[in-house]
Amino acid sequence: MTGPVKITSKTEVEEFLSKYDDFLFDCDGVLWQGDVLLPKVKETLDLLRARGKRLIFVTNNSTKSRKAYTKKFFKLGIDVTAEEIFGSAYSAAVYLKKVVKFPADKKVLVLGESGIEEELANEGIQFVGGTDPTLRRDIEPEDYDKIGPDPSIGCVLSGLDLHLNYLKLSMALMNLQVPETLFLATNIDSTYPTHGKLFPGAGTMCAPLVLASKRQPISLGKPSKAMMDCVKAKFEFEPTRTCMVGDRLDTDIRFGQDGDLGTLLVLTGVNKESDILAENAEIVPMHYMTKLGDIFELLI
Amino acid sequence: MTGPVKITSKTEVEEFLSKYDDFLFDCDGVLWQGDVLLPKVKETLDLLRARGKRLIFVTNNSTKSRKAYTKKFFKLGIDVTAEEIFGSAYSAAVYLKKVVKFPADKKVLVLGESGIEEELANEGIQFVGGTDPTLRRDIEPEDYDKIGPDPSIGCVLSGLDLHLNYLKLSMALMNLQVPETLFLATNIDSTYPTHGKLFPGAGTMCAPLVLASKRQPISLGKPSKAMMDCVKAKFEFEPTRTCMVGDRLDTDIRFGQDGDLGTLLVLTGVNKESDILAENAEIVPMHYMTKLGDIFELLI
């Protein structure tokens, strides 16, 4: 592996683009920061499309379905189809349907929001929990008798659940004490960066369950191999002709590396130039540039 | 260290009792199972008192204050005073007051129930969170702007919180990102055994915070040294003349061993005889007996 090569000239952009047919993009910190589109992102994406490149947007956000997530792009003026988006909720649904071949008569107990429910429903997978309003309440004395392993539940799937509570955690734990129950997580990000601050991430939803059940979930988000397998199965790209673009070394760049893809780090998010030039840097991208919009700016 | 010695005769009971002046008791699995008093427990405790032994009841339960916990004893017909009980909520309050000398102008952010609030109030320590009804709600869009580190908060104290939610976790995480904020847990039990099942324990409340903040709390419950230091400071017993009685090797017996106390395992709770006689047994008590009530039954 060579690198990191900093891309700063027209020639370097042309050389970079000639290497890849398909591009996988992380979104937050690459395309936008929160609700603000980064400079020349739209122009760069249009340019890549005009040159016949295929664009795939990969996100660990499980609270929105792919369809709901397109609205975020539209609001910022970017054209996209749901088919070009690969979210961790969709990843989990595909994993259950295609890899596990989850039984039609079993249900998934969801700790999470509507994004997971919509993707499971799209794949014809039965589920309970999720946004069910009857579970958005305190645990009551009679629940301690009632709650137990439910033989109809074959999987606990945990994502970011803004309505997490002790009742749902208890239900999930009971089912995880049955060794046959699958334990999946849409992703295990420890934090959720928003509003310039770090809030608890999806990984903190399953942390109580990991501790109490002594089990580890299979993660279907970056940087897991399970997600990469699902992406590859869907888009059938040639890894050496595909580049993963992201702002985080430990998720995006590692995800690309583990999948034998090319990697491009942009410096508009979490990691800085000093992180990859440090002597003890563990994860180093093949290429990096100041911002994604440099592709457009350097070419014109 | 010798042991394990199984106590099965009157002579062995007399020899055992002659070694100790003070007895520390775990409660659930030793005195009672759930709401059922174990056989001859009352008679045994009366006998020990009649022989001039001092009794101290040590519990990791943080949901009740010592005073509230006496009611559990009374309901089962056991005489006890709040001063004889040492709960993890009290342990945390004592630690803050005596060991840390927590500043009077700072507040503790509590993830937990009224037991913690009452013990903090008794020690004159200011707190927020806990059972505050205004925090028992979903996180709202405006909270993402509002929530942040609060300079008046000097400590996050986490116990079993049956009303845990994303809002409180977010507030705690913001304050834990300030390195000066103390991070305490009443205890870090992974599970909470009740109704013959394992529910999420107090340790699962701080698990999300441990993951997201990359910090470990100081635990004030068994088997932590911090709790033992607090117990010793309060009761000023002679360790070699004191015996820790419990049903769990990894909490009770380890707690006694680490404090250089004598140890007695009773087989009415979590661990069985085979656990201590196994060749690879890591934690072995000095003494063990079938049930605590054997002390009374073997002597009469």
pLDDT tens by residue, A114-141:
999 999 999 999 999 999 999 999 999 9
Q: Tens digits of per-residue pLDDT, A206-223?
A: 999 999 999 999 999 999
CB count in 10 Å sphere of residue A105: 8
Phi, psi of A169 (to 5 degrees): -60, -40
Interchain contact B216–A (C-beta under 8 A) = no
Residues B197, A148: C-beta atoms closer than 8 Å:
yes
| B241-265 average pLDDT score | 97
CA distance B87 to B66: 6
CA distance A156 to A213: 12
Look at residue B54 in the predicted model and tell me its pLDDT. Answer: 98
CA distance B237 to B256: 13
Residues of chain A with Cβ-Cβ distance to B209 below 8 Å are 200, 204
Using left for φ > 0, alpha for ψ between -120 and 50, and beta otherwise, residue B34 falls in: left
Q: Report the Cα A146 to chain-centroid distance in Å.
A: 35
Phi, psi of B107 (to 5 degrees): -120, 155
Residues of chain A with Cβ-Cβ distance to B146 below 8 Å are none
Task: Kindly identify which residue of chain B lies nearest to residue A160, measuring between CA atoms.
Answer: B166
ipTM entry: 0.91
Q: Tens digits of per-residue pLDDT, A233-247?
A: 899 999 999 999 999
Q: Indicate the residue of B161, B197, B212 with minimum beta-carbon distance to A204.
A: B212
Domains of chain A: 101-219 (3.40.50.1000)
Does residue A3 register a pLDDT over 70? no
Q: Tens digits of per-residue pLDDT, B27-70?
A: 999 999 988 999 999 999 999 999 999 999 999 999 999 999 99
Residues of chain A with Cβ-Cβ distance to B174 below 8 Å are 197
Selection from B67, B64, B93, B92 nearest residue B81 by Cα? B67
Distance from CA of A191 to the nearest CA of B (A): 6
Name the β-bridge partners of B192.
B199
pLDDT band at B136 (very low <50, low <70, confident <90, very high): very high
Does residue B245 register a pLDDT over 90? yes
Interchain contact A142–B (C-beta under 8 A) = no
Lowest mean pLDDT among A167-171, B266-270, B293-297: B266-270
Q: Percent of chain A scored above 70 by pLDDT?
A: 99
Residues A166, B163: C-beta atoms closer than 8 Å:
yes
CA end-to-end distance (rounded Å), chain A: 30
Residues B211, A199: C-beta atoms closer than 8 Å:
no
Does residue A2 register a pLDDT over 60? no
Interchain contact A203–B (C-beta under 8 A) = yes
* B21 is annotated as an active-site residue: yes
Residues of chain B with Cβ-Cβ distance to A139 below 8 Å are 162
CA distance B43 to B299: 11
For A59, the 3-state DSSP assignment is strand
Alpha helices in chain A (DSSP H): 10-19, 41-50, 66-75, 88-94, 114-122, 141-146, 166-176, 203-213, 225-235, 254-258, 273-277, 294-299
Look at residue B135 in the predicted model and tell me its pLDDT. Answer: 97
Does residue B2 register a pLDDT over 60? no
Look at residue B3 in the predicted model and tell me its pLDDT. Answer: 65
CA distance A22 to A243: 6
